[in-house]
Amino acid sequence: MVYTGQNIASAFEETFIVNSISILEVGPRDGLQSEPEILPTEIKKEFILKIINAGIKQIEVTSFVHPKKVPQMADAETLVESLPDRDDVTYIGLIMNQRGFERARDCGIDEVGMVIVSTDTYNKKNQGVTTQESIDNWLRIAADAKSAGIRTNVVISCSFGCPYEGEVDPEKIVAIAEQVLQGEPDILGLADSVGVAVPKQITNVFSMIKELHPTIPLRTHLHNTRNIGLANAAAAVEVGVSIIDASTGGIGGCPFAPKATGNIPTDDLLYMLDRSDVITGVNLRDVIKTTEWLESQLGRSVPAMLPKAGIFPENAEINLQ
């Protein structure tokens, strides 16, 4: 759908009221990995516990990558092992290869998230291998994850454009998804890793993926580099995406992508969803308090607008149904 002044209100009313959305918090991983500070493990743990207390049940807590490449994630095993066992919370660890999977498995992670970049140039910068090699790695990991009883999700990065190779043909994303689905992931995601997408692209590419596999839960990971992240999230809801990544305070980015600014803020996303009667089960006021706490830990302001502007109206009831 093309958004116009005449149809945007009706689209939100028709689509948002009948949907519930699961927020997948990526602040502890994608948020902190691009910040200059390296927070102590205990502070990261406190961050995660505050997220849980706000009502978020899916959390990407760390990544199992080489500590020299991403020193902010060097304590991955220690952090995961320190987290409380919760039947109602899923701790997710990002992986890029077999070694990363083995590290995640051995420290007791609930779910692994495999990233496959759609272009060879970016995939080589990010992972040191071609896109096809990452797909082949995933298919081997998929079997090991099933044997270990670990849930899996796969995210196709740069699904809407690449900073090195430019436009990405949607048919290429579908072709990658066809191969990825052979490993039977529990969730399939598309990422706008550098914030180039617009709502029309979100609707188009996700519609093609839904035709490929109508029943698999769909996830999207959006960046706000060009200030269109929330519009893209609205388009994702409209097309039936059920899991939306967000970062408390809007911190983060990608250290391997030039000019890639932060993720969409959990705070601002929740405001949009709450005001549109979308059920998330997350308490916006608690998320804002966590953002304010995070600012005190980082020693500076973060991108999210809600902590600055406030909830409207001030006495608004938070949608927790």
Please give the full DSSP string across 43-58, using - where no structure is assigned: HHHHHHHHHHHTT--E
Q: Which of 147, 171, 149 is nearest to 159 (CA)?
A: 171
The predicted structure's pLDDT at residue 37: 87
Residues forming the active site: 254
Three-class DSSP category at 279: strand
CB 82 within 8 A of CB 109: no
The predicted structure's pLDDT at residue 129: 96
**Average pLDDT over the chain, rounded to an integer:** 92
The predicted structure's pLDDT at residue 19: 74
The predicted structure's pLDDT at residue 202: 98
Q: Which residues of 183-205 are buried (b: 16+ CB within 10 A; e: fewer)?
A: bebebbbbbbbbbbbbbebbbeb
The predicted structure's pLDDT at residue 262: 81
- Spatial distance between the Cα atoms of 48 and 42, rounded to a whole number of angstroms: 10
Identify the segments of the chain with pLDDT beneath 70.
1-18, 253-260, 317-321
The predicted structure's pLDDT at residue 314: 84
Q: Which domains does the chain have, with CATH numbers?
A: 8-308 (3.20.20.70)
